[in-house]
């Protein structure tokens, strides 16, 4: 049996894409391995969002090439395939600089991997596929199977917002939404093979506008009708595209978890305008209020960028004020870093690195305090937890509460991939400890 090693960088969408690439190459008889030394294909699925993405990629290619060279001495052929957003942006340069790379594939072409591998194996030479095809890749992918009780399902990708700091519209293309029927069928396939929780994915997931439902909210109502599905989540949402259907779903759909990731990026209206974010800070806070009215215990997380070009001390203080008003359960925060080809990279008034660092530390201190408070608030409660991972210690399992808080518990593997009632016994700033409340599982 041929083997493939996959390393994934970046967001949940990339994790979903890697799983589908695994499925696609499975049609050629490849099975996955965690050991690159035994792999016939070494595949890197890249992300272009973070700083120095290309440098990290070339470093990883160099590491994997050592395995390729060792296997070559053993008369074993090894392909290095680079996929994802970095390939979409810099594919030709990657093949020019990294001669160890055999195939480069953009995120809209990975359904063609079996064909590209076959073409390469027929001695057709190195391959780069980074166009935006007219047909949807989802039409050509094989039927998916659950590999865990919690699975990702892409419903939308691409972006039409063109935030001035972001490369996604250039690497993922314009917004595309799959049909409701197609999504529901994939969800049923996942549930029939063991999934209990499905995370609906999209670069702007609530911009979903496919056939068969009016918006993401109505789509969630339809997905909730699937027998055997216990939990529904979705990410990432865009604030100005929140609909009443989606808010109401949090009040009415029992399977929809009380959690939403709603990036604000900045609490300053002037910075939001410079970012081309299509809302104001007060509008964002009003949206949070609507969700909390519908589901009072809903957990809110967000993304923040500090040190955006032109951000003043006053602008940053406004961000801190929004954080204090909202009170987040968890968040992700980063220093602004210029991405080549984006409008923000050409803006004047770039912020000095030491200023960005100081602001990030202040913001993260506040966010961590709020996260610790949110984790401590569930101590003593009994919560249904979906256990999906084995911990580093024997006899320890890891899972997530309805609020997407990580918790660990000492239980044997018979509880893995089940929803278990756990009593939360202790909290840190980043995780929970728990014990079995009663032997109730789903």
Domain boundaries, the chain: 3-129, 137-301+313-323+338-344, 382-441
Q: How far is residue 67's CA from residue 275's CA, in Å, rounded to a whole number?
A: 43
Q: How far is residue 383's CA from residue 259's CA, in Å, rounded to a whole number?
A: 14
Give me the sign of the Cα torsion angle 357, 361, 363, 364. Answer: positive
Q: Give bridge partners of residue 407 from the DSSP assignment.
A: 399, 432
Task: Judge contact between 43 and 5, C-beta under 8 A.
Answer: yes
CATH topology classification for 3-129: Rossmann fold (3.40.50)
> Over 90: is that where the pLDDT of 404 sits?
yes
Secondary structure of residue 127 in the 3-state scheme: strand
CATH topology classification for 382-441: OB fold (Dihydrolipoamide Acetyltransferase, E2P) (2.40.50)
Task: Judge contact between 116 and 130, C-beta under 8 A.
Answer: no
Burial class (CB in 10 A: 0-12, 13-18, 19+), 99: exposed
CA nearest to 171, candidates 214, 203, 146, 149 = 203
Instruction: Let me know if domain 137-301+313-323+338-344 sits in CATH 3.40.50.1980.
Output: no
Question: Could you give phi then psi for residue 422, rounded to 5 degrees?
Answer: -120, 140
Q: How far is residue 79's CA from residue 274's CA, in Å, rounded to a whole number?
A: 43
- The pLDDT confidence band at residue 202, using thresholds 50, 70 and 90, is very high
Give the model confidence (pLDDT) of 108-139 as tens digits.
Answer: 888 889 888 888 877 767 888 877 776 677 77
What local confidence, expressed as pLDDT, does residue 96 receive? 87
> Over 70: is that where the pLDDT of 148 sits?
yes
- The pLDDT confidence band at residue 399, using thresholds 50, 70 and 90, is very high
What local confidence, expressed as pLDDT, does residue 440 receive? 60
What local confidence, expressed as pLDDT, does residue 127 receive? 84
Q: Cα angle at 12 between 11 and 13, to 5 degrees?
A: 90
Pair type for strands 382-390 and 396-400: antiparallel
Equal CATH topology for 3-129 and 382-441: no
Q: For residue 23, give every residue at least 6 positions away whose Cβ sits within 8 Å of its Cβ, in sequence order, or none.
A: 141, 142, 143, 144, 145
Q: Which residues of 424-435 are buried (b: 16+ CB within 10 A; e: fewer)?
A: beebeeeebbbe
pTM of the predicted protein model: 0.89
Q: Give bridge partners of residue 383 from the DSSP assignment.
A: 422
Give the model confidence (pLDDT) of 272-286 as tens digits.
Answer: 999 999 999 999 999
Averaged pLDDT score across all residues of the chain: 92
Q: Between 173 and 222, where is the model more confident?
A: 222
Mean pLDDT in residue range 6-23 = 89
> Over 80: is that where the pLDDT of 223 sits?
yes
Phi-psi category of 304—alpha, beta or left, where left has phi over 0 and alpha has psi -120 to 50?
Answer: beta
């Amino acid at each position: 049996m041929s083997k493939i090693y996959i390393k994934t960088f970046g967001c949940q969408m990339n994790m979903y894409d890697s799983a589908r690439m695994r499925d696609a190459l499975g049609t050629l008889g490849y099975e996955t391995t965690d050991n690159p030394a035994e792999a016939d294909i070494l595949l890197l699925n890249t992300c272009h969002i973070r700083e120095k993405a290309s440098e990290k990629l070339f470093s990883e290619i160099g590491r994997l090439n050592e395995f390729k060279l060792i296997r070559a001495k053993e008369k074993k052929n090894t392909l290095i395939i680079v996929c994802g957003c970095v390939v979409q942006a810099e594919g030709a340069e990657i093949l020019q600089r990294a001669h160890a790379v055999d195939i480069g594939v953009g995120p809209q072409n990975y359904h063609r991997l079996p064909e590209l591998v076959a073409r390469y194996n027929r001695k057709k030479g190195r391959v780069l596929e980074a166009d935006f095809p007219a047909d949807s890749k989802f039409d050509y992918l094989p039927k998916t199977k659950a590999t865990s009780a919690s699975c990702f399902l892409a419903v939308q990708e691409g972006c039409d917002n063109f935030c001035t700091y972001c490369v996604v519209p250039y690497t993922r293309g314009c917004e595309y939404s799959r049909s409701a029927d197609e999504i529901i069928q994939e969800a049923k396939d996942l549930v029939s093979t063991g999934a209990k929780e499905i995370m609906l994915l999209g670069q702007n997931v609530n911009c979903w506008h496919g056939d068969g439902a009016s918006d993401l909210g109505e789509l969630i109502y339809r997905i909730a009708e699937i027998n055997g599905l216990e939990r529904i989540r979705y990410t990432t949402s865009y604030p100005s595209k929140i609909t009443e259907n989606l808010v109401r779903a949090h009040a009415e759909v029992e399977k929809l978890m009380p959690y939403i990731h709603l990036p604000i990026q900045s609490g300053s209206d002037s910075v939001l305008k410079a970012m081309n974010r299509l809302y104001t800070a007060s509008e964002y806070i009003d949206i949070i209020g609507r969700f909390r009215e519908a589901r009072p215990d809903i957990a809110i997380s967000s993304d923040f960028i500090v040190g955006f070009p032109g951000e003043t001390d006053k602008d940053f203080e406004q961000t801190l004020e929004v954080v204090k008003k909202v009170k987040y359960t968890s968040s992700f925060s980063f220093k602004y870093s210029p991405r080549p080809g984006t409008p923000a990279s050409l803006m004047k008034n770039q912020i000095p690195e030491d200023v960005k660092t100081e602001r990030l530390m202040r913001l993260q201190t506040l966010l961590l305090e709020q996260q610790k408070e949110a984790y401590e608030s569930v101590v003593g409660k009994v919560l249904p937890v979906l256990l999906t991972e084995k911990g580093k210690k024997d006899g320890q399992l890891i899972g997530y509460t309805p609020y997407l808080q990580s918790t660990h518990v000492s239980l044997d593997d018979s509880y893995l991939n089940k929803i278990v009632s756990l009593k939360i016994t202790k909290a840190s700033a980043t995780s929970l400890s728990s014990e079995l409340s009663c032997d109730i599982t789903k």
